[in-house]
Amino acid sequence: MGSPLIRRSAVFAATIGLILITVAGASPGINAATPTAAAPWLDKGQPIQARVGALLDRMNTREKVGQMVQINTAFPLTDAWMQQALISDGAGSLLSGGGDVPSPNIPNSWASNINKIQQYAVQNSRLHIPIIYGYDAVHGNNNVLGAEIFPHPIGLGATADAGLVTKGGAATAKGAQAMGIRWTFAPVLEVSRDARYGRYYESFGEDPILDSVLGAAAIKGFQGNDPSHPIIAATDKHFAAYSQPIAGHDRTMAEIPMRYLQETFLRPFKAGVDAGVATAMANSASLNNIPVHASHYMLNDVLRNQMGFSGLVVSDWQDVFALNSSYHIAATDADAIRIAVMAGVDMTMCQDVDFGTKFVNGLLADVNNGSVPMSRINQAVRRILTLKFQLGLFDQQPYPQVDPQAADATVLNNPMDVALARQAADESMTLLKNATVKGQPALPLAKSNKIVVSSTSVQDVPWAAKPAPIAQNLADQVGGWTLGWQGADGGGEGCCTNPASDPSNGNKLPGETVLQGLQSAVQGHGGTVTWADPAAAPAAAASADAAIIVVGEP
């Protein structure tokens, strides 16, 4: 997912009368729990494509269009919001953007809320169609307070350990599935070669071969050994060349010669397709002057015809509407929707329910005026329904549900996952040089040493008041996509703070800072670890056995 530029606006209200009318209007001939002649798609003995076809044939145009929208969830859930998003809009998918979390932010709460969403969607819709819930599991179940997190992809790239990446993906998938989350917007399969690019850390690195191997390994971990029945759906993103903007900024244009594009930037995406990745997310930016969300060439000629991708393509955050508001290649929002859908976007990610409604109404207008043919709608919805059947969402009756208590046990303090995360952190550490000091290697340090630690603060983050020095700043240490999109200190673009990491809400990020970890390591062994501000560090280091300078970025 990309940067949340604008957050939720007011939630629609729905009257009790509207709710009662909608529920009463559910088709009386279809039982959500058992396959009948009226609902043959519930027959697990039939091939998936036959089940998809049977359901598609029963859907009306509005129901089909609703499947093509994905709406950011507004917590705490209300019946009015669910009525608008799940019934009036008929959303095929919901997501939690970075920082959009239930309260309390624990696995039990995630599971309970998603159970409630699935129950409402299935029981109150005419054809009882479940939703797919997704979020960005970039380095573990990183949106959930207390969940084990792994090094960011750039750290996993340093391990060059495909088996480890697969195990990490599998651990993440197990936890996500336990909470009812069946779609992750990961892995990032971009080749990062511009250090100015702010999302460099989300990639496995600068080598397309390494990115290909580790990307395929991550997909195998997320989805399991059978891509036709994934544990959770993985995502090839951001397709393609998102990581090479000419200005070095997120969501800005890339200019890349076609040969360089094919040989370097597309290679990991092809590996992802070959690994059976279920979904792909379009690049938020433009490539060679054409927004990728409007590029039939990239989304069809390259992704589908050249690479053989057969899954669904989802937009990034608000990027269909950006064809009107930012790129100005569409005269209206409905025109932007038409352009994106005809270019190959199957599902549109919306920041809130208001935009979800706008998408549904806009696409219905496009269908009614003939600018988007029903054949294209059916194609997109077939891909979406196929994934839902592959995930088994129709097979758990009366609606998809998970055990909230088991979610806590699966996600929090799982000894095997903790050990795996520690192994990944250990393997990701890279020693560039172990210099000789007085005839001895500088490392390892003796626990009896006198050690001085120093670092600067990150001063350029507008939402982080009085940031602590990096060596004492756990939020900087865990990085972005940890509770919030920009990490535990805030949202993004200076737009908001992240309530998930606000201690006043009872949510405190667990873990040790670098300084605390070093102090724990020498305790009881005769050594000392002391802090020195940068100005005092040279003098303090002169009388110490070693000085450790911690550097990094927010």
Amino acid at residue number 410: T
Q: How many CB atoms lie within 10 A of CB 533?
A: 12
Q: Are 490 and 458 in contact (CB under 8 A)?
A: no
**For this structure, is 316 an active site residue?**
yes
- What length does the chain have? 554
For tokens 């070095």, the residue is: 248
In 260-288, which positions are buried (b, 16+ CB within 10 angstroms) versus exposed (e)? ebeebbbbbbbbbbebbbbbbbbbbbbbb
Would you report the helix, strand and coil content of the chain in percent, each value rounded to 5?
Answer: 40, 10, 45
Q: Are 233 and 223 in contact (CB under 8 A)?
A: yes
Interaxial angle between packed helices 333-343 and 353-368, expressed in degrees from 0 to 180 and rounded to the nearest 10: 80
Both tokens of 103, joined, read 């309260």
What is the layout of strands, in order, in the sheet containing 183-184? 183-184, 132-135, 93-96, 69-72, 348-350
- Residue 236 in 3-state DSSP? strand
Closest by CA to 293, choosing from 325, 255, 337, is: 337
For tokens 């939630």, the residue is: 11
Q: Are 192 and 203 in contact (CB under 8 A)?
A: yes
Catalytic residue among 89, 100, 211, 316: 316
Q: Is the dihedral of CA 332, 336, 342, 346 positive or negative?
A: negative
Containing 355, the helix (H) or strand (E) segment is helix 353-368
Active site residues: 316
